[in-house]
Structure 1
Amino acid sequence: MKIDQIDRRILRALQKDGRLQNVELAKRVGLSPSPCLRRVRRLEEAGVIDRYAALLDASKIGVNLTVFARISLISQDAETVERFTNAMRNLPQVVECYVMAGECDALLRVVAADLDDYRRFQSTHLTRVNAVQTVKTDIPLQKIKLSSELPL
């Protein structure tokens, strides 16, 4: 799918505010409402717009800690990796999971209420997945930037 400058303006606006009504979106990108809606629908159907979501303030819902867990698996064969990734998909505390090339086999971003909550999560969930050999946890001291917006 070819994405032109108008599509990019639409995507930038929706990344900043996914609740924009079509009339307001059209005004912001310099289109009339009907062509704007057609473009949005085309972007949705092509999968460029994957979904819409509400971004929550983690501290206001009691999720005050973010940690990064570097995982080493017992093996890197397809079955072990699949068993691990399936387990991670089912853990709501794991908000991001990447299979890695490099020093570790997987990198997780995990959220928890506090350090004790994370410790319980690690001992009852992460280390119990039989594909996991080691877990090394990194705790960020300061959040500098957190964005869900992609550069366009």
Structure 2
Amino acid sequence: MSEELDAVDAKILDLLQRDASLSIAEIAERVGLSSSPAWRRIERLKKAGVILRQVTLLDQDKLGLTFEVFATVKLQLPSRENLDRFETAIAEWPEVVECATVTGAVDYMLRVLTRDMHAYDDFLRDKMLALGLVSDVQSRIVMRVPKRTTSAPLELISTHLSG
């Protein structure tokens, strides 16, 4: 971003992270601005790429997606071509809700959501292992989630924010 975030920007971002359905008028009132300047700030943050998109979070349990797994994946040969092929494939698999390239003995960490253990087994056999690229998958079944947030920790950047 060409210009630094200030304290008002941080407040706006915090509000939007907590509830993206807030109206411009509600946001403006909470940060002490009128609607037009608040709208301009939000548009600037969007254009700068700070705000990527606004989404609705769903309750995965109420949707029947109660089986959650963190899986580490090691490719047989982590060449550029195989990494690209694997990443292209996982982009198409709805079960994979997050994927990160990681350091260490494995190549990827995946967060996978399915209905149950049988659906996860089908996913492993019919999709991941069927690619012919994977040499090892270690699955960690999630028992309980004491914390989950989609919010960036804005307080970690607020030490240099003025206002």
TM-score (norm 2): 0.91
User: What's 1:32 paired with?
Assistant: 34
* 1:66 aligns to 2:59 (yes or no): no
User: What's 1:148 paired with?
Assistant: 150
* Unaligned runs of at least 5 residues, structure 2: 155-163
* 1:86 aligns to 2:81 (yes or no): no
The code of the aligned residue for 1:42 comes to R
Deviation at 1:137, TM superposition (A): 0.6
Contact 1:73-1:134 at 8 Å conserved across structures: yes
The code of the aligned residue for 2:134 comes to V
Tell me the secondary structure at the aligned position of residue 39 of structure 1.
helix
Question: For the aligned residues, what is the CA RMSD?
Answer: 0.8
User: What's 2:114 paired with?
Assistant: 112
Aligned with residue 98 of structure 2, among 59, 72, 96: 96
Rounded to whole Å, the distance in 2 between the matches of 1:75 and 1:26 is: 53
Deviation at 1:129, TM superposition (A): 1.6
Contact 1:88-1:94 at 8 Å conserved across structures: yes
User: What's 2:161 paired with?
Assistant: none
User: What's 1:14 paired with?
Assistant: 16
User: What's 2:54 paired with?
Assistant: 52
The code of the aligned residue for 1:30 comes to G
Rounded to whole Å, the distance in 1 between the matches of 2:12 and 2:149 is: 18
Runs of 4+ with deviation above 4 angstroms: none
Judge which range, 129-138 or 78-87, deviates more.
129-138
TM-score (norm 1): 0.97
Judge which range, 114-123 or 16-25, deviates more.
114-123
Rounded to whole Å, the distance in 1 between the matches of 2:32 and 2:90 is: 43
Deviation at 1:144, TM superposition (A): 0.8
Tell me the secondary structure at the aligned position of residue 131 of structure 2.
coil
Tell me the secondary structure at the aligned position of residue 68 of structure 2.
strand
The code of the aligned residue for 2:5 comes to I
Contact 1:127-1:134 at 8 Å conserved across structures: no
